[in-house]
Structure 1
Amino acid sequence: MKGLVLSGGKGTRLYPLTYTKAKQLIPVANKPVLFRVIEAIRDAGIREIGIVVGDTAAEVKEAVGRGERWGVEITYIHQSAPLGLAHAVKESREFLGDDRFVMFLGDNCIQGGISPLIEQFGQSDWNAQIVLTRVSDPSHYGVAELDDDGRIVRLVEKPKEPRSNLALVGIYMFDRSIWEAIANIKPSWRGELEITDAIQYLVEHGYRVYPYIHRGWWIDTGKKADMLDANRLVLEEIEHRVEGFVDRDSQLIGKVTVEAGAEVINSVIRGPAIIGENARIVNSYIGPFTAIYHHTVIEDSEIEHSIVLEHSSIVAIPHRIEDSLIGRNVKVHRSPIKPKAYRLTLGDHSDIGLL
């Protein structure tokens, strides 16, 4: 099998952060979401991975390279225009050939990986397998309706009146029959070739499409709240370690990672939390579910349930920062007039003087 990762898209729901950074490269627990997707595919035994890229191709290529760090071979596929998931598959035909493949959206996090799914599909005679999970608001997703025997009846992309709460989670497995399906569908009202329409074609023409209902957590990291939720869940699960320097006046409470080169001075870090390489935490409190990325400074401040990206600084803030997603090269510092709380979504290279 081969792997296909979709890493295009503008990430408009994460503006202003994604004006200057590919959404798939924003880290969860100090690891870009795209890296987690590549690892999940590799761990399932797949070594040939195609990454579909768009306007952020240069940044993705620089970050990922050719895959040596994961022991995989990466091929980049430029999608000519953002015309839907099925269109991205269509433009990957040369890479995929007639091999079976798994397609994984590059901004998704899923508990437990996909190894069991790949093994299950590889040992079956199914033409396709789709992963579903129950969601509270299915109108934002592709939705599957099943009959009483658990077979797929129909799939609809972002329905106004969903007939099911089973959403497609962005992980699909196909054999060569997908080429017939894509060749026989037309653009939707959105002007896109929808993967849901291609799967519906397979269902209606007698192909075997197996619905797998995922029971663990799954996050589509398209919005700030989703990013923070994914960060919380992953921080709970990863294996924590202390490789940096923690002085005797500091306390690490619970699950805390301090990466190599980081310094924690006269501070309290209450986990689960992670402090990135060469970060510096001084006279501060880092609360639960916080990820501080590399080369960042937190001094005389408090922050929790937040993500802070690289080369940023938060200095002498008199009130706790919480529920925030802070970009690269951001400076947050004190101004004379003080409010009681801050909730921030800051783009890269911001310089914010708080009142």
Structure 2
Amino acid sequence: MQAVVLAAGKGTRLRPLTEDKPKALVEVDGKPLVEDVFDNLREIGVTEFVVVVGYQKERIIERYGDEYEGVPITYAHQREQLGLAHAILQAEPHVDHDFVLMLGDNIFRGNLGDVINRQREERADAAFLVEEVPYEEASRYGVCDTNEYGEIVEVVEKPDDPPSNLVMTGFYTFTPAIFHACHLVQPSDRGEYELPDAIDLLVQSGRTIDAIRMDGWRIDVGYPADREKAEERLREAAPPVTER
């Protein structure tokens, strides 16, 4: 299976950590964010990475070259930061079947493999890893509404009045139908092509999208404080060192 990894961001909210590097190379507990993503994807059986790069892309390309731990890498270039749906379209020429999409700035520890298995078993058009957050925080995310079967029936980007407290986490599986939906998306009020808008088009066209609840944890590393929180969680989860 191929995985598209979105790693084109500047990480302006992470400054000063991103003053001399792209967001994807910010280290958390000694490992770059994108490298943690690569390791997670390798563990669930991904056999090819398509990495969307943009800001200081040469730093990422020089570091990883054309493979990571034996997994080949193809680079797609997002020359302007115009939203996640726009970023996904840059990978379209390199993807020819179902694929995983993972944001390059999240630290995940959990049931990522369940998302792939659900799409394969149910023959869904997409499957997303979702998590519950406090209602007062839901408006910061892409919010999902589901039916009695656990299928997503609506996705709203950062709504003032969230329909639920179930939010997208940044890990998805898609069929190539998502590319057609991304082509149809119109710019949002902030001038970006939003992924939730593309997903909503899939839903409206009758596509089946399954929501898989997270069993574990994840941290979106958007600010320096998030990096500190992620490092604490990783150290708590690390096996104890035994003395010889």
- How far apart in 2 are the matches of 1:65 and 1:179? 26
TM-score, normalised with respect to structure 2: 0.92
Q: How does 1:200-219 map to 2 (within 5 A)?
A: 200-219=200-219
Contact 1:40/1:113 (8 A) holds in 2: no
1:67 aligns with 2:106: no
Q: CA deviation at 1:238?
A: 2.8
- Can you list the C-alpha shifts for 1:242-292, whole angstroms capped at 9, x where unaligned? 8xxxxxxxxx9xxxxxxxxxxxxxxxxxxxxxxxxxxxxxxxxxxxxxxxx
- From the CA coordinates, give the structure whose radius of gyration is larger: 1
Counterpart of 1:79 in structure 2: which amino acid? Q
| Equivalence for 1:82 | 81
- 2:160 maps to 160
Segments of 5+ residues of structure 1 without an aligned counterpart are: 243-251, 253-355
The answer for the alignment partner of 2:16 in structure 1 is 16
Distance 2:239 2:77 in 1: 36
* 1:186-201 correspondence to structure 2 within 5 Å: 186-201=186-201
> Structure 2 CA distance, aligned partners of 1:152 and 1:115?
19
Aligned equivalents of 1:65, 1:241: Cα separation in 2: 33
Match of 1:42 in 2: 42
1:117–1:146 CA distance, 2 compared to 1 (3 A)? closer
Residue identity (%): 38
Task: Say if 2:102 is the partner of 1:104.
Answer: yes
Matched position secondary structure for 1:226 = helix
Alignment partners' CA distance in 2, 1:202 and 1:181: 7
CA-based RMSD: 1.8
Q: 1:79 Cα shift?
A: 0.7
Check whether the contact 2:111–2:214 (CA below 8 A) recurs between aligned residues. no
Q: What is the CA-CA distance between 1:241 and the residue it aligns to?
A: 5.1
Query: 1: CA distance between counterparts of 2:111 and 2:129?
Result: 12
- Which residue of structure 2 aligns with residue 126 of structure 1? 124
Secondary structure at the aligned position of 2:229 is classed as helix
**Alpha-carbon displacement from aligned partner over 1:183-239 (angstroms, at most 9, x marks no partner):** 322111121111111111111111111111113211001112211111111112234
What secondary structure is seen at the aligned counterpart in 2 of 1:18?
coil
Aligned residue number for residue 90 of structure 2: 91
The corresponding residue for 2:139 is 139
Q: After the TM superposition, which parts of structure 1 deviate over 6 Å for at least 4 consecutive aligned residues?
A: none
Q: How does 1:1-355 map to 2 (within 5 A)?
A: 1-68=1-68, 70-97=69-96, 99-112=97-110, 114-136=112-134, 137-239=137-239
What are the superposed Cα offsets for residues 64-103 of structure 1, whole Å, 9 maximum, x if unpaired?
A: 22224x1100111101211111111111111112x10001
Q: Deviations over 1:128-174 (max 9, x none)?
A: 11111112311221111223443323111111222221111111110
Distance in 1 of aligned mates of 2:238 and 2:61: 26
Question: How many pairs does the alignment contain?
Answer: 241
Q: Tell me, yes or no, if the aligned pair for 1:145 and 1:155 is still in contact at 8 Å.
A: yes
Aligned-partner Cα distance in 2 for 1:74–1:112: 24
Check the 8 A contact 1:50/1:76 in 2, yes or no.
yes
Cα pair 2:10 2:22 within 8 Å, conserved = yes
Cα displacement (A) at 1:5: 0.3
Cα deviation code 1:46-74 (max 9, x no counterpart) = 11101101112011112222224x11001
Aligned to 2:161, the other structure's residue is in SS state coil
For the residues of structure 2 that align with 1:60 and 1:86, how far apart are their CA atoms?
Answer: 21
AA of the residue aligned to 1:67: E
Contact 2:48 2:72 (C-alpha < 8 Å) held by counterparts: yes
Are the aligned partners of 1:51 and 1:75 in contact in 2 as well (CA < 8 Å)?
yes
Q: Does the CA contact (< 8 Å) of 2:111 and 2:215 recur in 1?
A: no
**Which residues of structure 2 form unaligned runs of 5+?**
none
**Cα distance in 2, alignment partners of residues 90 and 7 from structure 1:** 14
- 1:130 aligned partner, one-letter code: F
Q: Give the TM-score taking structure 1 as reference length.
A: 0.64
- Alpha-carbon distance, 1:23 to partner: 1.9
